[in-house]
Chains A and B, each alone.
Chain A
Amino acid sequence: MFQKAGMADSVIPLAGVQDKLNSNVLTAEDFDELVRRNQKRIFRLLMSLLRDEDAADTLTQECFLKAYKSRTSFRGDSSVDTWLYRIAVNLARDYQRSKRQGFWKKMFSATPEAEDELPLLETVAHDGANAEKQLLAREEAEQVWHVVKRLSDNQREVFVMRYSEELSLDEISQALNMQLGTVKSHLNRALTTVRKRLEEHRRGR
């Protein structure tokens, strides 16, 4: 399922763990293995959705705690990976809702306001392309981050799952518990916004 380039830590399907979850015989070692194999993906998803390291770290922990607590209710309708994504996205939604209401600012008082603006330009890989291309790629990636930040919650979730986590539309549909058509619609709108922003950026160069 997750045989994707650059995701070596998460490529092994957790068939064994899934069976154990279903039969409710998951040991501490099994669960630790599940955490080990998924924590990077969940953290990356939450970082892309929230752009807040402390929140992403805390919610990654919460995600696995929730998974552990509700392990008996895991029915195996979807894969463990999709199930974890769903828990993480729900936590991110709750976090954003609470943040809007101003509660989480108090809870995470150490979170500075400036974290919204993570250093984007340092984050693009240097793959040997020439300097101008690299600069262009960095600038455009930054434009995408700006768009992602302003998308609606649903559009952002679909976009991040598709282009950061490289999930299929079916997987996104399962993880978000959303109709396939709705997933496509959100993705289409998100992409249109990205394209528009990139065109404006290119015209302005």
Chain B
Amino acid sequence: MADEFDDRFEDKDVKSTLRAWRESAEKQADRPDWFWARQRALISSRIQQPQSRRLPALAWAGVAATIAVGVALILPGQKPISVEHVVANHTPTVQAKVATASDSDLMQEVEETMNSGVPEALQPASTLQQAMEKAYSGNTATKTKENMQ
């Protein structure tokens, strides 16, 4: 290697400067005894800290897991409910429609809905509105008659 370290670089001149620099580095890192004692105490406490913190956490995790397993075992077992079962019990109409619907039926249904004035889902509301309008017009007619008399 062309620029490998050569001992001749460390001539007397540079050596004395480097010695002075080393002494300054040593002085710079010089600390009183209490500093080193404090540092050792901190290292020691940090070595012990993770163990004492982790142990209760692990213990709690173990307890929680045991309780969960215990509860699962104590409770009477239930058969898992399938999605099909839920659909069959709670939405029979939808299921029936889904089961029988073909593309042409669906298209026909959409067409009928579009042609009818009120969508099928809003028919009860429309009936209610008609009844309210009838009652209101009846009321108005009676009041007009009364006013005329």
**Measuring CB to CB, which residues of chain A are less than 8 angstroms from any residue of chain B?**
6, 28, 31-32, 35-36, 39-40, 43-44, 47-48, 56-57, 60-61, 64-65, 68, 118, 120, 122-125, 137-138, 140-141, 143-145, 160, 163-164, 166, 169, 181, 183-185, 187-189, 191-192, 194-195, 198
Q: Give the chain B neighbours of A191 by CB distance below 8 A.
A: 5, 9-10, 14
- B1 pairs with A184, CB closer than 8 A: yes
Interface residues of B in 15-69 (CB under 8 A from A): 16-18, 20-29, 31, 36, 39-40, 42-44, 46-47
Q: Is B146 an interface residue (CB 8 A)?
A: no
Nearest opposing residue in chain B for A138, CB measure: B20
- B40 pairs with A36, CB closer than 8 A: yes
- B6 pairs with A188, CB closer than 8 A: yes
B: contact size bracket = 20 to 34
- A47 pairs with B21, CB closer than 8 A: no
Q: Give the chain B neighbours of A123 by CB distance below 8 A.
A: 23-25, 27-28
- B43 pairs with A35, CB closer than 8 A: yes
- B40 pairs with A6, CB closer than 8 A: no
The one of A48, A68, A192 in contact with B9, judged by C-beta atoms closer than 8 angstroms, is A192
CA distance A6 to B23 in the complex (A): 9
- A43 pairs with B27, CB closer than 8 A: no
Q: Give the chain A neighbours of B21 by CB distance below 8 A.
A: 140-141, 144-145, 163-164
